[in-house]
């Protein structure tokens, strides 16, 4: 297998710089120009069947979340923004497919991405093309998620500065044909700082900026001892997690690296904001009572709601 190694992050940086000053969402695929029609198969949308600029041209914020139910819960942003209609009125835009659900509330688009890198990657390819065909500009995209914390109090929010892989490297390795291509996984620093500032308005839970480790698996891949398979000791697990902590990693999840890489390459300002459900230095199982779990899942949502309202000039602190 050919390998384009970590140094290619330099060339990726060059790619990213191509978009400095260009406020439009970009795609990096010359083949799209010669296509008469583009069917966004997993979203059940298309360039001939739908007027994408009319449907999505005003989108300024995209919130992506794992599960469709949790994403529906974000519909509360409608009320927060003081827009017309009830939550029940919200129609799933992707009705013809059960892969992803999408809702739009004024300038806010919400879509779910399922679990793991392959699932979010498929969604992002089609979402980014959608934003491009819709001629969207100045778009901010945020992954609102859950994660396992390392050395921090459960319920805390981690705003990711850089996603790292299981070797603690700030990169995402994508296999393209038979080549390993390494992509940069830094997120927008200014956006992360802006979100941290917004967190001062919600002092009931700690919020910090840190590195996020993105893995391909929830169990052995995150150093858990409680999967169907486990090939290492508790000592090895703790040694690994403590080394991760020392490098600045504060949480673990399963989507941030490809999210950072793809959004960075396509001119989207991106952030990853995840609540931590447990402290992995203390346990592996998520045994929170249902109501606490639901409450924790609202932490990043509250923060993002304040951020969007501030950006839109609609924030009135109570």
Ligand X SMILES: O=c1cc[nH]c(=O)[nH]1
Count of residues interacting with ligand X (CB under 6 A)? 9
- The residue whose two tokens read 């000592």 is 235
Q: Is 91 annotated as a binding residue?
A: no
**Which residue of this chain has its Cβ atom nearest to ligand X in the complex?**
148
Residues 249-288 interacting with ligand X (rule: CB under 6 A): 252-254, 277
Residue 148: name its binding partner from ligand LQZ7MJT6, ligand X, none (Cβ under 5 to 8 Å by kind): ligand X
Contact residues: ligand LQZ7MJT6, CB under 6 A:
65-67, 115-116, 145-146, 218, 253-255
Residue 252: name its binding partner from ligand X, ligand LQZ7MJT6, none (Cβ under 5 to 8 Å by kind): ligand X
Is residue 105 at the binding interface for ligand X, with CB under 6 A as the rule?
no
Among residues 218, 219, 240, 315, the one that binds ligand X under rule CB under 6 A: 218
Interatomic CA distance for residues 49 and 54, integer angstroms: 12
Residues 8 and 182 sit within 8 Å (Cβ to Cβ): yes
- 280's CB contacts (< 8 A; 6+ apart) are 148, 149, 150, 222, 223, 241, 252
Residue 115 C-beta: closest distance to ligand LQZ7MJT6, Å: 4
Residues 51 and 166 sit within 8 Å (Cβ to Cβ): no
Distance from chain centroid for Cα 300 = 12
- The residue whose two tokens read 């879509």 is 111
Nearer to ligand LQZ7MJT6, 32 or 115 (CB): 115
Residue window 235-254: x/- pattern of binding to ligand X, with contact defined by CB under 6 A: -----------------xxx
Choose one: 122-130, 144-152, 157-165, 307-315; the region binding ligand X (CB under 6 A): 144-152
Q: Is 247 annotated as a binding residue?
A: no
Residue 116: name its binding partner from ligand LQZ7MJT6, ligand X, none (Cβ under 5 to 8 Å by kind): ligand LQZ7MJT6
Residues 160 and 212 sit within 8 Å (Cβ to Cβ): yes
Q: Is 146 annotated as a binding residue?
A: yes
Q: Is 155 annotated as a binding residue?
A: no
Listed as own residue / partner, the contacts of 237-246 with beta carbons closer than 8 Å and 24 or more positions apart are: 238/281, 241/150, 241/280, 241/281, 242/281, 243/168, 244/150, 244/168, 244/213, 245/150, 245/151, 245/281
Residue 277: name its binding partner from ligand LQZ7MJT6, ligand X, none (Cβ under 5 to 8 Å by kind): ligand X
Residues 46 and 40 sit within 8 Å (Cβ to Cβ): yes
Is residue 147 at the binding interface for ligand X, with CB under 6 A as the rule?
yes
Interatomic CA distance for residues 116 and 153, integer angstroms: 24
Q: Is 78 annotated as a binding residue?
A: no
Computed over its alpha carbons, how large is the radius of gyration of the chain? Answer: 19
Tell me if residue 297 falls in helix, strand or coil: helix
Residue window 152-191: x/- pattern of binding to ligand X, with contact defined by CB under 6 A: ----------------------------------------
Q: Is 152 annotated as a binding residue?
A: no
Which CA distances in Å does 25 have to 106, 141, 269? 18, 11, 10
Residue 230 C-beta: closest distance to ligand X, Å: 15
Residue 149: name its binding partner from ligand X, ligand LQZ7MJT6, none (Cβ under 5 to 8 Å by kind): none
Q: Is 222 annotated as a binding residue?
A: yes
Per residue in 190-210, is it b (16+ CB within 10 Å) or e — as a string?
ebbebbeebbeeeeebebebb
Nearer to ligand X, 200 or 290 (CB): 290
Annotated binding-site residues for phosphate read: 99, 143-146
Binding region for ligand X (CB under 6 A): 146-148, 218, 222, 252-254, 277
């Amino acid at each position: 297998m050919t390998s384009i190694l970590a140094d290619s992050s330099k060339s990726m940086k060059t790619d990213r710089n191509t978009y400095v000053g260009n406020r439009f969402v970009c795609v990096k695929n010359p083949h799209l120009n010669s296509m008469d029609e583009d069917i966004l198969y997993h979203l059940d949308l298309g360039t001939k069947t739908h007027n994408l600029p009319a449907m999505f041209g005003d989108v300024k914020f995209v919130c992506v979340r794992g599960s469709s139910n949790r994403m529906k819960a974000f519909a509360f942003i409608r009320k927060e923004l003081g827009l017309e209609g009830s939550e029940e009125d919200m129609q799933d835009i992707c009705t013809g497919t059960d892969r992803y659900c999408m809702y739009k509330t004024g300038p806010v688009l919400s879509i779910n991405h399922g679990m793991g890198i392959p699932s979010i990657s498929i969604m992002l390819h089609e979402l980014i093309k959608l934003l491009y065909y819709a001629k969207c500009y100045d778009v901010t995209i945020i992954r609102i998620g859950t994660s396992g914390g390392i050395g921090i109090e459960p319920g805390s929010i981690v705003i990711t500065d850089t996603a790292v892989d299981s070797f603690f490297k700030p990169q995402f390795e994508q296999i393209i044909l038979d080549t390993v291509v390494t992509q940069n996984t830094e997120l927008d620093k200014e956006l992360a700082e802006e979100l941290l500032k917004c967190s001062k308005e919600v002092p009931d839970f700690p919020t910090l900026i840190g590195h996020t480790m993105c893995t391909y698996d929830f169990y052995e891949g995150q150093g858990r001892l409680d999967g169907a398979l486990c090939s290492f000791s508790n000592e090895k697990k703790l040694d690994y997690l403590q080394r991760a902590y020392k490098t600045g990693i504060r949480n673990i999840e399963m989507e941030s690296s490809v999210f950072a890489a793809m959004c960075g390459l396509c001119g989207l300002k991106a952030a990853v904001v995840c609540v931590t459900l447990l402290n992995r230095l203390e346990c592996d199982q998520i045994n929170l009572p249902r109501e606490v779990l639901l409450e924790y899942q609202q932490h990043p949502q509250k923060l993002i709601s304040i951020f969007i309202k501030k950006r839109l000039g609609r924030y009135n602190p109570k």
